[in-house]
């Protein structure tokens, strides 16, 4: 298989690029009737990382029908970690058209890909479908998704504070990290901003390294903004049970 031109800034001799190409080639040989498209996403697709310690490849394998091709899997191949996502074309397009509380952490996979095999231009359709969904989305949809993303952040922060009181420092740090990421995700939804990965999310929102007090202040401010947008985080039993 002849590899396509890598993304700008990617060394064609980068071992990740070579492993991605070998995997795509092997998948097409083994499942010739199933494979619609193969692409890389994540740092390698962006082409602006140095490939240093982050020797990882996010590989998307799209099949004509759900259940076709290999099973999703992860393996380290020649020192390169390969995260293989396998999905049916219709299912992936449906996810691309759905706005969820995790949108800031998933959108990049629909928008930024580099094709290893895409004879029908399906990846362009994926990107267009996702961007079209965003263009049609109403502000209330993002606010509703942000509220759903806020709750686990608040719960993680409360748990982290209680663990800190009990001097369970390691567990408290884990929960605090979850609260930071949830707060960053809420920020992304409220501002319609998506991120490359969780690390990018907390960095770009200024939450990387934020302490317990600061994260709590951010979550409180988000609750106030959600209330101002007509999506208060507090409610009644009737609110909870409304269809």
Residue-level pLDDT at 130: 98
Residue 4 included in any domain: no
Strand duo 56-63 + 80-88: pairing: parallel
- One domain, residues 53 and 94: yes
Q: Given this model, what pLDDT does residue 4 score?
A: 58
Question: Which of 136, 170, 196 is a domain's end point?
Answer: 136
Sign of CA dihedral 227, 232, 234, 236: positive
Find residue 84's DSSP bridge partners. Answer: 59, 73
End-to-end CA distance of the chain: 52
Structural domain of 184: 139-232
Which residues of the chain fall below pLDDT 50?
A: 1, 52-53
Task: Identify whether 160 is part of a domain.
Answer: yes
Q: Of the residues 78, 106, 136, which one is the last residue of a structural domain?
A: 136
pLDDT at position 53: 47
200-206: long-range pairs with CB below 8 Å, 24+: 201/104, 201/105
Residues 165 and 92 in one domain: no
**Within a domain: 189:** yes
* CATH number of the domain enclosing 80: 3.30.460.10
């Amino acid at each position: 298989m002849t590899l396509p031109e890598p993304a700008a800034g990617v060394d064609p001799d980068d071992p990740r690029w070579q492993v991605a190409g070998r995997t795509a080639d092997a998948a097409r040989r083994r499942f010739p009737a199933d494979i619609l498209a193969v692409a890389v996403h994540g740092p390698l697709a962006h082409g602006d990382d140095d490939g240093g310690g982050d020797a990882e490849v996010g590989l998307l394998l799209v099949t004509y029908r759900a259940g076709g091709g290999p099973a999703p899997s992860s393996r380290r191949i020649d020192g390169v970690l390969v995260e293989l996502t396998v999905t049916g074309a219709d299912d992936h397009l449906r996810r691309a058209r759905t706005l969820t509380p995790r949108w800031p952490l998933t959108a990049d996979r629909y928008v930024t890909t580099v094709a290893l095999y895409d004879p029908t231009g399906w990846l362009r359709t994926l990107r267009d479908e996702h961007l079209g969904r965003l263009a049609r989305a109403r502000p209330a949809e993002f606010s509703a998704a942000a509220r759903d993303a806020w709750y686990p952040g608040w719960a993680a922060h409360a748990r982290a504070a209680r663990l800190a009181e009990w001097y369970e420092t390691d567990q408290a740090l884990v929960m605090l990290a979850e609260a930071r990421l949830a707060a960053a995700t809420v920020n992304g939804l409220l501002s319609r901003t998506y991120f490359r990965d969780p690390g990018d999310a907390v960095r770009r929102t200024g939450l990387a390294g934020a302490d317990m007090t600061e994260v709590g202040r951010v979550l409180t401010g988000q609750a106030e903004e959600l209330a101002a947008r007509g999506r208060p985080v507090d409610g009644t039993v009737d609110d909870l049970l409304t269809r």
